[in-house]
Chain A
Amino acid sequence: MQFGIFSVGDITPDPTTGRVPTDGERIAAMTSYALKAEEVGLDVFATGQHHNPPFISSAPTTHLAYIAAQTQRLQLSTATTLITTTDPVRIAEDYAFLQHLSGGRVDLMMGRGNTGPVYPWFGKDIRQGVPLAIENYHLLRRLWREEVVDWQGKFRTPLQGFTATPRPLDGTPPFVWHGSIRSTEIAEQAAYYGDGFFHNNIFWNIEHTAQMVGLYRRRFEHYGHGSADQAVVGLGGQAFIAGSEAEAKRTFRPYFDVAPVYGHGPSLEEFSRMTPLTVGTPEMVIERTLGFADAVGDYQRQLFLIDHAGLPQEVVLEQIEILGRDVVPVLRREFEARRPAHVPSDPPTHASMVAQGPDAPHHLVAPARGAAVGAPA
């Protein structure tokens, strides 16, 4: 099972000091979190993609390539890649390039974004959000899997005799997750292609998460990729960890109470009941996270949001250290102990997909259609 951290790349003032990091400081801090994640034995670092303040994460492949150059093992991912407003040709090129630079340590999570005006800023219509996600992703699959692409669609200028370069590393496109909170069409999309489904549950109750994952699992089986419990599932989560619950709450509460995404609403205690937020000891975070598997079944990737609410860099680094030292080793053991033998522990990696050979379903544009690859006649 893979454990890691994800950052949306927000600039949030530290409410206890009023200090606002500069864009450069925030980028450097995110980089340091990724390096720390590898150092303490975590598996994944994922960055968001945003095109408006207070976020700085507008150039994910530039950032991930910089991190790749300073790490050996860390899997680099996104949370999320805007499949609606980013040209699929650019996604195909950028992430294939990143595959080569990082030695295949790349996967992506597709998302539709959380800021309405991004659509018009990039010349798109938000009412077409789901069709954009569907058409663009299908084109992306073809660009990675077919040497020469002739294509015409609703949203992008047509392509004639186009070849996306560089070709994917070892002829093997990156594994893709689809992230969605509420849209069942996206769970269906992930199931159709046999891709991963990530439910970023940090603002949702586990009952809702379980329904979304359940839908994806059922449809994954329907499309013939394996049994429902073999579907590839990832979850979010967020925590603030200290030696005692009282200490964790004392430290985190001033941040929680005024944070743009948490503050001025329910209390820390109420929010912790409603969502995965756990403010307490490593044991509490372990127990809470293990409980996710009771709700959604044994899953393959757990990403924690750690650099939230304007926490200063040294505190976040310490949190990652605690995660790697006191939380994740126990989670690895406990999750493996409960996992049935036929349920994969890890999501597909570059090495595992290369090992399956060029005839594996991963190399088909639409595996659910079987051999009928690409555009129907």
Chain B
Amino acid sequence: MTRRIVVLTAGLSQPSSTRLLADRLADAVVTQVSARGEAATVEVVELRELAHDLATTMTTGGMPTPAVEAARELVSGADALVAVTPVFAASYSGLFKMFVDVLDPEAVAGTPVLVAATAGTARHQLVLDHALRPLFAYLRAAVVPTGVFAATDDFGGAGSGELGERITRAAGELATAVVAAVVVGLGSDPASGRAGTRVGQDVTDFEDLLAGLGQ
């Protein structure tokens, strides 16, 4: 069957090393899912293109623009997420966090997530474990053990092959988690998140809401 991989990338420049890393991760995940006998599609959410829409959503009491709504649907419907952010001021970028802030709290609950970050030097690499992992832990996502950090130096020169190895290892972990997940509609579905973009039509009967309260 075909698994839906959604890539969040928060790079700001064009081209960006964040997108470069995101594309390498996406390719590696597709390869690893194929190696496990299944197919994968990749959809990329380029957060830079949502910058204005996110600001609009923030300043209108949380009313999502159509573009934000589409991105939310994409993320909550993903079988796995690859989240890549540049490091800004000791953390993920503000743009990256703004997008996470407009997600439904249940959007990625149980979804396998690969966290990755880029920065100028390796000094920032703890952002993966001190910022991104706690964030996705809050969202109850299933973050795979290997995170991928790429400093500028990792893109060339001596030792740059190690980045490729980390990408392969992380992609393998994500692929294993995705393939192991129960297929939608065939039993419990740990990877189906809630987009929160539509009004839920399955309401609790009012007598149940009244029960236990003073009548």
Contacts and interface: CB of A to CB of B under 8 A. Distances in A.
Contacts of B201: 211, 215, 218
B59 A266 contact: yes
A219 B199 CA distance: 14
A188 B214 contact: no
Given A189-B209, A192-B206, A154 B214 contact: yes
Contacts of B204: 185, 188
Interface residues of B, number: 23
B215 interface: yes
Name A's interface SS. Answer: helix
Among A192, A212, A375, which residue has the most Cβ atoms of chain B within 10 A?
A192
Interface in B91-141: none
B213 A212 contact: no
A270 interface: yes
B214 A153 contact: yes
B172 to A, nearest CB: 41
A265 interface: yes
Contacts of A271: 60
A368 B205 CA distance: 12
A135 interface: yes
B89 interface: no
B215 A138 contact: yes
A223 B212 CA distance: 21
Interface in A319-336: none
Contacts, number: 81
B55 interface: yes
A90 interface: no
A211 B198 CA distance: 8
B61 interface: yes
Contacts of B199: 182, 184, 208, 211-212, 214-215
Contacts of B207: 192
Nearest to A158: B214
Contacts of A223: 206
Given A191-B206, A208-B63, 5 more contacts: A154-B214, A189-B206, A192-B207, A208-B199, A218-B201
12 contacts: A151-B214, A153-B213, A155-B214, A182-B199, A188-B206, A189-B206, A205-B63, A215-B199, A219-B203, A264-B59, A266-B56, A275-B63
